[in-house]
């Protein structure tokens, strides 16, 4: 099977090692990865900040980068995919070529854990990680895309992993894109509440499978010199396994 | 909201929020949510979703046929001996109430908790004429005594602890009391009992208006609503025109949704139905129907669902932002997610546009709303109004922000410039690095590092990808 990698801005610029691990995992289970090099930003930061016209222009460019390719478009982010899947078709009037293309593209996108569990039916990657792990539920992944079980199914198959409950796991971590710089104090208060719940869970690691939330929570843990480490699901699945 | 258009500075308002207030807010919100979850579970999740859909559709039907139902309502209220008044804005509504008051020589007013009277600052107008106003809902009584504004639409004093309330009672009412809710309630009850009996006029808002019979529905938990609307000789109800329902079948749906969403009750303690003038009740019943910007919202197809709101407060209870800042930070009558979409529409984005950004777009509000208002969608719509401007308002964004967005799009829109910016970023930020982290980023990301360090940009995914594709023949690179 062939997939197109949608690496996202935050992924490409801040989490390139996580992307390399994503490629490693996918290839190990026999998936051919392609990387459309003309992809940049999907347009969400513009659109969500109120610059809808700019968001639409970015969407057109993004669609152009992927339109000649085939297979699922897989990304390590629920937020960027939610934008492509749910927003793109709403951006263009029905009956236009752009709308048709947006609907077609929306049908191809798939978040990483969703792609493994729902498309490939792969739940065990042979990883081993003998630690206590909590799992945060990123808002756009869970509420936006409806990906609620996939993360846990994959984590439960990891050897030695002890999945501990996280209080208020579906409560926002305070990232919110533009929100984090518009209202940094409130963003921090929300992030700290998340960190308190993580600490109370007694987990050694917390899985945060959304680049924005990951840099938020990871930065917060760093700031308070916590021993807990935040990992993208991909980073965890690549550890101790054959990848 | 009479003519006050000073800019609401949400960021300034959220600094120095007392921790005790945040704790009290979170405790009350959590309790309400837990009770709500229980009754929804009992009702059946699937049934509940059907009820929400029905509630949404009923509200939208009423809103898109507002002219017909309001005309029917006026006819029915008048036929039942009531008097209907139309108010285009806060000034007109207040003038109508003051005229009625002066005709009856009113000195003392008792009030049922009402957000719409907060919106038009009716108490201020009455007090300006030397009329004493008593809020009779316990929470509202407390915030009135404290000289504050409600911090939540159904639980006005939710931000206060029992200790603070006891201090307030001792100071303002000169009573001896322990911080005991029972004792505090008893004190308020005794005091208010006198006022109910001596009042010349009762003022209420309204939860719903039923067009087919011309009935005002009031939903309260303390019984004060019934006292205010039955003991004084005159009852004036001020209600937003959007509160209308076609008939009693719709009212049954809405009452089910409302009680469960507000407090996790199957039914609220007191459901009062008032149709015109009835025997043994007030001699006069006046219904003031208020527009105050509502028809303007109605004209906006994307945002009009804002008016479907039944003021249950569930969106506040679930909102992680509200839970960390409390209701007063929103700087207006309606706080929380619903306030973030309603206030900018009532006051304009110039004054209140900042509230549309007071959300992480986490979607919890839209998910819990009993009438399925797409709050995050409306936030995005209003953010656009702030930045780009739309049919209703021109852009209120500073030129600097618009220029920055243009520049950013220029770079992000070109793969070559985008990759160049990535390389430049890695080089230019290198001196700021401490290991994997940057503790102080240049503006505007200094706002990020105010709260947590920024991960130092590293690695080069594209470079890695190209090298490895060349060396191993793995994968493929799709070019256009």
- The enclosing domain of A189 has a CATH number of 3.40.50.11810
Q: Closest approach of chain B CAs to the CA of A104, in angstroms?
A: 18
Whole-number pLDDT of residue B326: 95
Considering the domain architecture, whether residues A222 and A170 belong to the same structural domain is answered as yes
Domain with CATH 3.40.50.10420 in chain B: 65-292
How would you class A209 by CB atoms within 10 Å of its CB: exposed for 0-12, middle for 13-18, buried for 19 or more?
Answer: buried
Q: Hey, are the CB atoms on B413 and A218 less than 8 Å from each other?
A: no
Contact A71, A4 (CB under 8 A): yes
d(CA B298, CA B12): 31
Check the CA dihedral B343-B345-B349-B350 and report its sign: negative
Answer yes or no: pTM beyond 0.90.
Answer: yes
Query: Please, what is the angle between helix B181-198 and helix B138-146, to 10°?
Result: 90
Q: Residue B402 CA to chain centroid, in angstroms?
A: 29
Whole-number pLDDT of residue B469: 80
Q: Is residue A242 part of a domain?
A: no
Q: Hey, are the CB atoms on B480 and A27 less than 8 Å from each other?
A: no
Reduced to 3 states, what is the DSSP secondary structure of residue A1? coil
Residue at which a domain ends, from A92, A118, A144: A118
Residue at which a domain ends, from A118, A136, A157: A118
* Element housing A185 (H / E): helix A184-200
Complex ipTM value:
0.96
Nearest residue on chain A to B388, alpha-carbon basis: A51
Contact B187, B168 (CB under 8 A): no
Nearest residue on chain A to B19, alpha-carbon basis: A189
Contact B101, B117 (CB under 8 A): no
d(CA A5, CA A243): 18
Considering the domain architecture, whether residues A110 and A144 belong to the same structural domain is answered as no
Indicate the number of domains in chain A.
2
Q: Is residue A27 part of a domain?
A: yes
Q: Closest approach of chain A CAs to the CA of B419, in angstroms?
A: 9
Per-residue pLDDT for A32 more than 60? yes
Nearest residue on chain B to A63, alpha-carbon basis: B480
Each of the 480 residues of chain B gets a pLDDT tens digit; together they read 434 578 999 999 999 899 999 999 999 999 999 999 999 999 999 999 999 999 999 999 999 999 999 999 999 999 999 999 999 999 999 999 999 999 999 999 999 999 999 999 999 999 999 999 999 999 999 999 999 999 999 999 999 999 999 999 999 999 999 999 999 999 999 999 999 999 999 999 999 999 999 999 999 999 999 999 999 999 999 999 999 999 999 999 999 999 999 989 999 999 999 999 999 999 999 999 999 999 999 999 999 999 999 999 999 999 999 999 999 999 999 999 999 999 999 999 999 999 999 999 999 999 999 999 999 999 999 999 999 999 999 999 999 999 999 999 999 999 999 999 999 999 999 999 999 999 999 988 999 999 999 999 988 999 999 998 887 766 555 544
Mutate to test the interface with B, among A148, A173, A176, A183 (most CBs of B within 10 A): A183
**Bridge partners, residue B209, by sequence:** B216, B244
Q: Hey, are the CB atoms on A40 and B413 less than 8 Å from each other?
A: yes
The vertex-A89 CA angle with A86 and A95, nearest 5°, equals 160
* Element housing A60 (H / E): helix A52-67
Give me the residues of B, 334-393, that contact A with CB < 8 A.
354, 356-364, 367, 380, 383-388
Residues B145-182 have pLDDT tens digits of: 999 999 999 999 999 999 999 999 999 999 999 999 99
Considering the domain architecture, whether residues A153 and A194 belong to the same structural domain is answered as yes
Higher-pLDDT residue of B427, A241 = B427
Mutate to test the interface with B, among A8, A28, A50, A193 (most CBs of B within 10 A): A50
Query: Please, what is the angle between helix B66-79 and helix B45-64, to 10°?
Result: 80
Find the CB nearest B475 among A16, A33, A40: A33
Residue B23 sits at the chain A interface (C-beta within 8 Å): no
Q: Is residue A163 part of a domain?
A: yes
Contacts of B406 in chain A (CB under 8 A): 54
Question: Which domain does A231 fall in, by range?
Answer: 123-237
Residue A231 has a CB neighbour count (10 Å cut-off) of 20
Q: Closest approach of chain A CAs to the CA of B35, in angstroms?
A: 16
Per-residue pLDDT for A159 more than 60? yes
Nearest residue on chain A to B443, alpha-carbon basis: A181
Residue at which a domain ends, from A118, A143, A161: A118
Considering the domain architecture, whether residues A91 and A111 belong to the same structural domain is answered as yes
Residue B49 sits at the chain A interface (C-beta within 8 Å): no
3-state secondary structure chain B: CCCCCCCCCHHHHHCCCCHHHHHHHHHHHHHHHHHHHHHHHHHCHHHHHHHHHHHHHHHHHHHHCHHHHHHHHHHHHHHCCCEEEEECCHHHHHHHHHHHHHHCCCCEEEECCCHHHHHCCHHHHHHHCCCEEEECCHHHHHHHHHCCCCCCCCCCCCCCCHHHHHHHHHHHHCCCCCCCHHHHHHHHHHHHHHHHHHCCEEEECCCEEECCCCEEEEEECCCHHHHHHHCCCEEEEEEEHHHEECCHHHHHHHHHHHHHHHHCCCCCCEEEEECCCCCCCCCEEEEEEECCCHHHHHHCCCCHHHHHCCCCCHHHHHCCCHHHHCHHHHCCCCCHHHHHHHHHHHHCHHHHHHHHHCCCCCCHHHHHCCCCCCHHHHHHHHHHHHHCCCCCCCCCCCHHHHHHHHHHHHHHCCHHHHHHHHHHHHHHHHHHEECCEECCCCCCCHHHHCCCCEECCCCCHHHHHHHHHHHHCCCECCCC
Place of tokens 């700019």: A54
Residues B400-448 have pLDDT tens digits of: 999 999 999 999 999 999 999 999 999 999 999 999 999 999 988 999 9
Considering the domain architecture, whether residues A29 and A54 belong to the same structural domain is answered as yes
Q: Hey, are the CB atoms on B454 and A174 less than 8 Å from each other?
A: no
Residue B444 sits at the chain A interface (C-beta within 8 Å): yes
Give me the residues of B, 287-326, that contact A with CB < 8 A.
320-321, 324-325
Contact A106, A140 (CB under 8 A): no
What CA–CA distances, in Å, run from B241 to B73, B108, B310, B393?
11, 27, 12, 23
Counted residue by residue, chain B has a size of: 480
Considering the domain architecture, whether residues A29 and A80 belong to the same structural domain is answered as yes
Q: Is residue A243 part of a domain?
A: no
The verdict on domain B65-292 having CATH code 3.40.50.10420 is yes
Q: Hey, are the CB atoms on B448 and A13 less than 8 Å from each other?
A: no
Q: Hey, are the CB atoms on B359 and A53 less than 8 Å from each other?
A: no
Considering the domain architecture, whether residues A113 and A32 belong to the same structural domain is answered as yes
């Amino acid at each position: 099977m062939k997939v197109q990698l949608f690496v996202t801005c935050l992924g490409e610029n801040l989490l390139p090692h996580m992307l390399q691990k994503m490629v490693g995992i996918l290839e190990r289970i026999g998936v051919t990865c392609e990387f459309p090099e003309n992809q940049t930003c999907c347009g969400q930061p513009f659109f969500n900040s109120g610059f809808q016209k700019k968001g639409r222009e970015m969407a057109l460019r993004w669609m152009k980068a992927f339109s000649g390719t085939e297979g699922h478009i897989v990304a390590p982010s629920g937020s960027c995919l939610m934008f492509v899947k749910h927003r793109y078709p709403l951006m263009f009037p029905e009956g236009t070529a752009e709308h048709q293309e947006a609907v077609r593209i929306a049908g191809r996108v798939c978040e990483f854990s969703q792609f493994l569990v729902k498309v490939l039916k792969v739940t065990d990657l042979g990883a081993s990680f003998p630690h206590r792990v909590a799992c945060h539920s990123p808002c756009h992944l869970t509420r936006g895309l409806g990906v609620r079980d996939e993360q846990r199914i994959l984590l439960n198959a990891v050897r030695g992993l002890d999945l501990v409950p996280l209080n208020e796991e579906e409560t926002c971590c305070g990232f919110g894109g533009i929100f984090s710089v518009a209202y940094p104090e409130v963003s921090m208060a929300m992030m700290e509440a998340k960190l308190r719940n993580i600490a109370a869970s007694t987990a050694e690691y917390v899985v945060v499978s959304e680049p924005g939330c990951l840099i938020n929570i990871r930065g917060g843990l760093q700031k308070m010199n916590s021993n807990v480490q935040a990992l993208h699901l991909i980073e965890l699945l690549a550890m101790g396994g054959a990848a | 909201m009479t003519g006050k258009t000073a800019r609401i500075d949400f960021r300034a308002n959220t600094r120095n929020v007392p921790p005790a207030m945040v704790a009290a807010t979170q405790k009350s919100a959590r309790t309400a949510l837990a009770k709500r979850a229980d009754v929804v579970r009992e009702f059946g999740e699937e049934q509940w979703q059907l009820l929400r859909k029905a509630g949404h559709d009923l509200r939208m039907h009423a809103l898109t046929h507002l002219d017909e139902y309001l005309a029917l309502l006026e006819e029915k209220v008048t036929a039942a001996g009531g008097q209907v008044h139309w108010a285009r804005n806060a000034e007109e509504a207040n003038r109508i109430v003051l005229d009625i008051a002066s005709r009856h020589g009113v000195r003392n007013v008792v009030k049922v908790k009402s957000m719409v009277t907060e919106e038009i600052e009716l108490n201020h107008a009455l007090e300006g004429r030397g009329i004493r106003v008593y809020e009779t809902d316990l929470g509202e009584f407390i915030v009135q005594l404290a000289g504050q504004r409600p911090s939540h639409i159904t639980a006005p004093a939710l931000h206060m602890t029992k200790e603070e309330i006891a201090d307030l009672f001792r100071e303002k009412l000169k009573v001896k009391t322990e911080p005991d809710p029972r004792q505090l309630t008893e004190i308020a009850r005794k005091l208010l009992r006198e006022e109910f009996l001596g009042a010349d006029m009762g003022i209420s808002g309204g939860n719903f208006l039923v067009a087919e019979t011309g009935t005002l529905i009031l939903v309260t938990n303390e019984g004060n609503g019934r006292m205010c609307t039955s003991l004084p000789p005159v009852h004036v109800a001020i209600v937003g025109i959007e509160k209308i329902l076609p008939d009693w079948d719709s009212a049954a749906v809405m009452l089910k949704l409302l009680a469960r969403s507000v407090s996790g009750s199957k039914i609220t303690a007191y459901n009062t139905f008032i149709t015109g003038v009835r025997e043994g009740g007030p001699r006069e019943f006046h219904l003031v129907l208020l527009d105050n910007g509502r028809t303007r919202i109605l004209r906006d197809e994307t945002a009009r669902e804002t008016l479907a709101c039944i003021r249950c407060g569930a969106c506040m209870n679930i909102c992680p932002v509200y839970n960390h800042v409390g209701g007063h930070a929103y700087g207006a009558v309606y706080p929380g997610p619903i306030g973030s979409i309603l206030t900018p529409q009532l006051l304009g984005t110039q004054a209140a546009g900042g509230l549309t950004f007071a959300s992480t777009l986490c979607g919890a509000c839209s998910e819990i709303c009993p009438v399925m208002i797409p709050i995050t969608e409306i936030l995005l719509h209003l953010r656009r109004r702030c930045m780009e401007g739309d049919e209703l308002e021109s852009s209120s964004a500073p030129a600097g922000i618009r220029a920055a967005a243009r520049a950013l799009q220029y770079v992000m829109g070109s793969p070559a410039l985008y990759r160049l910016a990535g390389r430049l970023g890695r080089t230019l930020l290198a001196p700021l690095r401490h290991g994997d982290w940057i503790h102080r980023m240049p503006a505007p990301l200094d706002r990020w590092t105010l709260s947590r360090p920024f991960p130092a940009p590293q690695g080069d995914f594209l470079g890695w990808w190209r090298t490895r594709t060349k060396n191993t023949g793995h994968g493929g690179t799709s070019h256009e």
